């Protein structure tokens, strides 16, 4: 009870301090006049908006953090042993948040000051601050003051994933800490904010190298275990774990030379990322211990996430990354030329001709003087405001990073225009034979010897007869690994946490010091996870005798055809399916197109695509607009290939498409029949009937849906996220959940709709605006629903005019702060919170429940 009272008093104090500083924030520093800094006028702080943060840490929690800091100072390194998490209160302007914090930063610049320390902050209770739930909170100088912010502006400008970065006035337990930086961390909100499908993010864990133990090979990504962020349950059925299995096996397969770079990574984005680090004159963010990655589950490839590139300097200090590695040189700051006799991951990248081509193409793009000038002009107003904020910390601070980037761009233009030790893995746990199979992989320069297996604190296996693990010529590669089976007492092996509490004891031969390795609960590499996925990267039209091949396209002619294995058409050819073609998909087969698809039937000769145990169609990154006309889809299922799983039977990803006179009927499996993602789409004169779940799901799309009927839909008829769509003259009948749904800042304009026998007719959430005019809603359980679902967004908005309601049980569910206008008049909210009433509770349908 005393502790609750104590925390309550701390929260009240924080709130008072936050309100005071917000109201009198302009009194925090004497008035200033505008100041000129390197040719730009910096406004006084009183003229700009500066948000305020009060971080209130209880004494017991603060003392624990203080103890961790002292240990880090003693060791000159903040190891994971001293990263205890504590609960605190954070007041952002006038809003109070419960947060979990810990010290962050490997080196002492993050925690050497008496109280201005760097923190990792996680907002609790499902809330977020400006759409961010987890973030780094640190002094700006730890990221080069404005340099890191500018780096992410570069990434944003050139279309790469970037973090949200913001400067705020900060007080820590009442002490003025000056201006701090909020740096977004790696969770699903980062992915969604960049307009991408949620996927696993990960890094290479190089923390074992930070103490610089002699003999550990810190320059190899092959020797650094892959560490996912927010993995969740490590079991099949968890999509994030399944994505992780694919991602790790793709990366390791690439490291071993089994897969090419372009089969694993989004080469264009990776190359552009390296080129942008060149623009900054220092590739710190391209080193393997800094760069982070995102597995894109739609295209099943890995993309870079920029992080910690806080130095901007002249390229002349160390040249560009590509030049150094293409020439086999290692030239670092303040060091003479250094030549290594082993390849780094940069070497492997730049030895790939496809990557070289993409890299030089990216250099040309990012060094364009007009692009740099346009970007600098677009951010100038925010830049000078941020400069004014930083000067609260350092009054004489000036920023020249933008000018250095201009000079580096000029350099690039000139250049291109003449030109730890043992890793162990659980392979198999057999409780019938009482056997445990473990794989041992030496990532050290020296040989290693196995001593035994330890469970808790007891050695349960002692076996020196295993071969000595020799050092690998390329550390981390499986060529010098050993697999061994051990007989384990049944009562131990069947314990639920046996593997979790197991460790492998090893030594360097001839020494007395022993070490322990905790096994990963997966294999080093299991090609079965990705073998079939890799096959889809390669065109295989020659496997289908009925396909006519031409230089620019391949053609499926009129007639009956059976596809019993995945058909892949490459990026340099279109797939043309002729009128009268009747295609049956069997044996989980799908059609995968990278160059677009043209399916042009007519009234007399439809194109028919039918599933008899097959999946569907996937179009990825098509350079041309696809067209579907007079096509009938029947009994298809969502795309599934090993752990590469998509929710829809027909998917267009970054591939514009026109769909007209097309029927979608009787799909058997999947969340959506049709899913269009990040594309322009026109859907007209078509129909959806008897769908398993959603009919059409659009993510970050633009376009129109006109004269389309929806009948007997198992979940939502139209579900849009982050989209701008016009919906006209639609007929909807028998919709199990939502007829129209807009989410994540969608803008939907609806006219002349007729919606009958529907659970929830018109739905708007999360900063979405839905306008409906001249329509009829009949026999619907709820006509309008407007609410907030995700904390990082704002409330929803519906504007209904001239809409006729017939026999609708509930006119509207309007959440507090959401907006519902009926014939121009704003309506009062009906409930404080609505989310808990939906999704199969009181209203709607639980989409996780299979359609019966």
pLDDT > 70? residue 335: no
- Say how far apart CA 226 and CA 202 lie, in whole Å: 7
pLDDT > 60? residue 264: yes
Contact indicator for 441, 434 with CB cutoff of 8 Å? no
> Could you read off the pLDDT of 687-715 as tens digits, one per residue?
999 999 999 999 999 999 999 999 999 99
- Supply φ then ψ for residue 568, to 5 degrees: -115, 125
What pLDDT does residue 333 have? 31
What pLDDT does residue 11 have? 52
pLDDT > 60? residue 329: no
Burial class (CB in 10 A: 0-12, 13-18, 19+), 418: exposed
Torsion sign across C-alpha atoms 693, 768, 766, 675: positive
> At 419, is the pLDDT very low, low, confident or very high (cuts 50, 70, 90)?
low
> Could you read off the pLDDT of 811-828 as tens digits, one per residue?
999 999 999 999 999 999
> At 464, is the pLDDT very low, low, confident or very high (cuts 50, 70, 90)?
low
- Say how far apart CA 750 and CA 705 lie, in whole Å: 10
pLDDT > 70? residue 554: yes
Q: Hey, which of 288-297, 449-458, 686-695 has the most confident mean pLDDT?
A: 686-695
> At 33, is the pLDDT very low, low, confident or very high (cuts 50, 70, 90)?
low
Q: Hey, which of 59-68, 314-323, 461-470, 509-518 has the most confident mean pLDDT?
A: 59-68
> At 359, is the pLDDT very low, low, confident or very high (cuts 50, 70, 90)?
confident
Contact indicator for 171, 214 with CB cutoff of 8 Å? no
Q: Hey, which of 29-38, 81-90, 223-232, 327-336 has the most confident mean pLDDT?
A: 81-90
- Say how far apart CA 142 and CA 450 lie, in whole Å: 42
Nearest 5 degrees, angle CA 685-CA 688-CA 693?
150
Burial class (CB in 10 A: 0-12, 13-18, 19+), 769: middle
Q: What is the DSSP string of 210-260?
A: TT--TTB-TT-GGGS-EEEES----STT-HHHHHHHHHHHHHHHHHTTSS-
What pLDDT does residue 443 have? 81
Burial class (CB in 10 A: 0-12, 13-18, 19+), 541: middle
Q: What is the DSSP string of 410-426?
A: HHHHHHH-----EEEEE
Three-state DSSP class for 793? coil
- Supply φ then ψ for residue 661, to 5 degrees: 55, 50
pLDDT > 70? residue 130: yes
> At 343, is the pLDDT very low, low, confident or very high (cuts 50, 70, 90)?
low
Lowest-confidence segment of 411-425, 481-495, 644-658 by average pLDDT: 411-425
Q: What are the structure tokens assigned to 708, written together?
A: 């389309």
The whole-angstrom distance between residue 86's C-alpha and the CA centroid of its chain comes to 27
DSSP 8-class letter at 528: G
Alpha carbon distances (Å) from 281 to 324, 333, 412, 429, 839:
13, 11, 10, 50, 51
H/E element holding 515?
A: strand 514-517
- Say how far apart CA 191 and CA 303 lie, in whole Å: 11
Contact indicator for 831, 813 with CB cutoff of 8 Å? yes
What pLDDT does residue 513 have? 86
What pLDDT does residue 655 have? 98
- Say how far apart CA 621 and CA 357 lie, in whole Å: 19
Contact indicator for 748, 742 with CB cutoff of 8 Å? yes
Nearest 5 degrees, angle CA 280-CA 283-CA 289?
140
> Could you read off the pLDDT of 86-105 as tens digits, one per residue?
999 999 999 999 999 999 99
Tokens 């808790």 identify what position? 456
Burial class (CB in 10 A: 0-12, 13-18, 19+), 400: middle
- Say how far apart CA 722 and CA 768 lie, in whole Å: 8
Higher pLDDT: 330 or 271? It is 271
H/E element holding 326?
A: helix 321-326
- Provide CB contacts within 8 A for 396, sequence distance 6+: none
pLDDT > 50? residue 477: no
* Chain mean pLDDT for the chain: 88
Q: List the 422-430 sheet strands across, edge first.
A: 422-430, 435-442, 481-487
What pLDDT does residue 668 have? 96
pLDDT > 50? residue 22: no
What pLDDT does residue 414 have? 79
Burial class (CB in 10 A: 0-12, 13-18, 19+), 510: exposed
Higher pLDDT: 324 or 394? It is 394
- Say how far apart CA 564 and CA 582 lie, in whole Å: 14
Three-state DSSP class for 745? coil
H/E element holding 365?
A: helix 353-366
Q: Is beta strand 718-721 parallel, antiparallel or unpaired with respect to 694-699?
A: parallel
- Say how far apart CA 814 and CA 818 lie, in whole Å: 7
Torsion sign across C-alpha atoms 42, 45, 46, 47: positive
- Say how far apart CA 337 and CA 334 lie, in whole Å: 10
Alpha carbon distances (Å) from 711 to 104, 754, 772, 776:
55, 12, 20, 16
DSSP 8-class letter at 338: B
What pLDDT does residue 119 have? 98
Q: Is beta strand 702-713 parallel, antiparallel or unpaired with respect to 731-743?
A: parallel
pLDDT > 80? residue 275: yes
Report the chain's C-alpha Rg in angstroms.
29
Q: How many Cα neighbours within 13 Å face the side chain of 276?
A: 31
* Cross-strand pairs, 731: 709, 754
pLDDT > 70? residue 218: no
Q: What percent of the chain has pLDDT over 70?
A: 88
In this structure, how many other beta carbons lie within 10 angstroms of the beta carbon of residue 346? 21
Q: What are the structure tokens assigned to 360, written together?
A: 């030089």
What pLDDT does residue 457 have? 87
- Provide CB contacts within 8 A for 558, sequence distance 6+: 578, 579, 580, 581, 605
Q: What is the DSSP string of 51-115?
A: -EEEEE--HHHHHHHHHHHHHHHHHTS--GGG---EEEEEEETTEEEEEEEEE--SSGGGT-SSS
What does the pLDDT average to over 37-42?
A: 72
What does the pLDDT average to over 272-301?
A: 93
DSSP 8-class letter at 523: -
- Say how far apart CA 590 and CA 248 lie, in whole Å: 25
> Could you read off the pLDDT of 159-179 as tens digits, one per residue?
999 999 999 999 999 999 999
* Cross-strand pairs, 119: 103, 137
Q: What are the structure tokens assigned to 248, written together?
A: 């790790």
Q: What are the structure tokens assigned to 362, written together?
A: 């990216």
Picking from 284, 286, 343, 274, the residue whose alpha carbon sits closest to that of residue 317 is: 284
What pLDDT does residue 336 have? 40
H/E element holding 532?
A: helix 531-535
- Say how far apart CA 98 and CA 124 lie, in whole Å: 6
Q: What is the DSSP string of 433-495?
A: TTEEEEEEEE-BSS-BEEEEEEETTEEEEE---SPPBPPPSSTT-GGGEEEEEEE--HHHHTS
Beta strands, E only, 173-209: 175-184, 201-204
Contact indicator for 810, 782 with CB cutoff of 8 Å? yes
Q: Is beta strand 435-442 parallel, antiparallel or unpaired with respect to 422-430?
A: antiparallel
Alpha-carbon dihedral angle through residues 722, 726, 727, 728, given to the nearest 10 degrees: 180
pLDDT > 50? residue 313: yes
Q: What is the DSSP string of 341-352?
A: SS--HHHHHHT-
- Supply φ then ψ for residue 550, to 5 degrees: -130, 165
Q: What percent of the chain has pLDDT over 90?
A: 66
The whole-angstrom distance between residue 203's C-alpha and the CA centroid of its chain comes to 12
Q: How long is the chain?
A: 852
What does the pLDDT average to over 496-506?
A: 90
């Amino acid at each position: 009870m005393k502790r609750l009272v104590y925390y309550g008093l701390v929260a009240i104090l924080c709130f008072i301090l936050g309100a005071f500083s917000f109201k009198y924030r302009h009194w925090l520093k004497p008035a200033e006049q505008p100041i000129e800094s390197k040719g730009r006028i910096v406004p006084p702080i009183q003229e700009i908006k500066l948000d305020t943060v009060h971080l209130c840490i209880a004494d017991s929690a603060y003392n624990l953090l203080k103890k961790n800091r002292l240990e880090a100072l003693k060791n000159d390194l903040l190891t994971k042993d001293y990263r205890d998490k504590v609960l605190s209160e954070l007041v952002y302007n006038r809003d109070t948040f419960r947060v979990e914090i810990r010290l962050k930063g490997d080196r002492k610049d993050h925690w050497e000051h008496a109280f201005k320390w760097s923190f990792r902050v996680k907002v609790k209770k499902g809330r977020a601050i400006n759409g961010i739930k987890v973030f780094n909170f640190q002094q700006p100088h730890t990221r080069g003051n404005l340099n890191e912010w500018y780096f992410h502006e570069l990434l944003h400008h050139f279309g790469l994933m970037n973090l949200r970065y913001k400067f705020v006035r900060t007080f820590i337990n009442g002490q003025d800490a000056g201006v701090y930086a909020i740096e977004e961390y790696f969770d699903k909100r980062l992915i969604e904010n960049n307009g991408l499908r949620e996927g696993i993010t990960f890094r290479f864990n190089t923390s074992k190298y930070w103490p610089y133990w002699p003999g550990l090979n810190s320059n190899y990504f092959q020797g650094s275990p892959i560490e996912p962020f927010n993995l969740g349950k490590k079991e099949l059925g968890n999509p994030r774990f399944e994505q992780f299995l694919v991602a790790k096996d793709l990366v390791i397969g690439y490291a071993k030379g089994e897969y090419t770079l372009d089969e694993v990574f989004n080469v264009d984005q990776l190359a552009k990322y390296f080129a942008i680090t060149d623009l900054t004159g220092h590739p710190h963010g391209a080193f393997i211990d800094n760069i982070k990655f995102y597995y894109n589950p739609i295209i099943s490839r890995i993309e870079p996430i920029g992080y910690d590139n806080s130095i901007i300097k002249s390229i002349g200090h160390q040249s560009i990354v590509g030049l150094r590695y293409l020439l086999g040189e290692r030239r670092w700051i303040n060091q003479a030329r250094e030549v290594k006799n082993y390849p780094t991951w940069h070497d492997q990248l730049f030895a790939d001709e496809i990557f070289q081509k993409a890299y030089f193409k990216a250099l040309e793009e990012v060094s364009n003087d007009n692009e740099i000038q346009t970007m600098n002009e677009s951010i100038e107003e925010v830049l000078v405001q941020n400069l004014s904020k930083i000067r609260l910390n350092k009054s004489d601070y000036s920023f020249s990073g933008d000018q250095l980037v201009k000079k580096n761009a000029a350099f690039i233009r000139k250049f291109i225009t003449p030109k730890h030790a043992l890793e162990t893995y659980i392979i198999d746990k057999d409780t019938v034979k009482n056997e445990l199979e473990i794989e041992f992989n030496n990532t050290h320069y020296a040989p290693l010897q196995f001593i035994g297996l330890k469970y808790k604190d007891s050695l349960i296996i002692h076996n020196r007869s295993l071969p000595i693990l020799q050092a690998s010529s390329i550390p981390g590669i499986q060529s010098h690994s050993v697999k061994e089976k051990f007989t384990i007492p049944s009562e131990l092996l069947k314990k639920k946490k046996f593997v979790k509490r197991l460790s492998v004891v090893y030594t360097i031969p001839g020494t007395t010091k022993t070490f322990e390795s905790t096994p990963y609960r997966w294999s080093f590499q299991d090609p079965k996870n990705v073998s079939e996925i890799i096959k889809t990267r390669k065109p295989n039209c020659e496997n289908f005798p009925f396909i006519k091949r031409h230089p620019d396209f391949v053609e499926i002619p009129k007639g009956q055809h059976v596809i019993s294995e995945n058909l892949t058409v490459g990026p340099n050819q279109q797939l043309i399916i002729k009128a009268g073609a009747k295609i049956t998909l069997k044996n989980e087969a799908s059609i995968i197109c990278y160059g677009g698809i043209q399916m042009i039937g007519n009234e007399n000769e439809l194109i028919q695509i039918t599933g008899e145990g097959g999946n569907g169609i996937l179009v990825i990154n098509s350079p041309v607009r696809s067209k579907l006309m007079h096509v009938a889809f029947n009994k298809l299922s969502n795309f599934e290939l090993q752990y590469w799983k998509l929710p829809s039977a027909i998917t267009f990803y970054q591939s514009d498409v026109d769909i007209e006179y097309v029927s979608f009927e009787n799909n058997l499996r999947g969340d959506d029949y049709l899913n269009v993602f990040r594309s322009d789409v026109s859907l007209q004169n078509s129909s959806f009937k008897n769908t398993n779940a959603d009919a059409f799901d659009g993510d970050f799309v633009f376009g129109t849906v006109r004269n389309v009927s929806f009948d007997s839909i198992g979940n939502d008829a139209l579900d849009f996220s982050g989209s701008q769509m016009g919906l006209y003259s639609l007929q909807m009948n028998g919709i199990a959940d939502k007829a129209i749904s807009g989410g994540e800042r969608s803008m939907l304009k609806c006219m002349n709709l007729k919606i009958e026998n529907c659970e929830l007719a018109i739905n708007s959430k999360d900063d979405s605006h839905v306008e409906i005019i001249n329509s009829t809603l009949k026999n619907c359980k709820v006509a309008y629903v407007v609410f907030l679902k995700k904390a990082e967004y704002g409330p929803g908005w519906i504007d209904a005019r001239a809409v006729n309601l017939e026999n609708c049980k509930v006119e509207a569910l309007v959440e507090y702060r959401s907006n519902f206008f009926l014939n121009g008049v704003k309506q009062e909210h009906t409930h404080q919170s609505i989310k808990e009433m939906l999704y199969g509770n009181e209203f709607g349908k639980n989409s996780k429940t299979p359609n019966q």
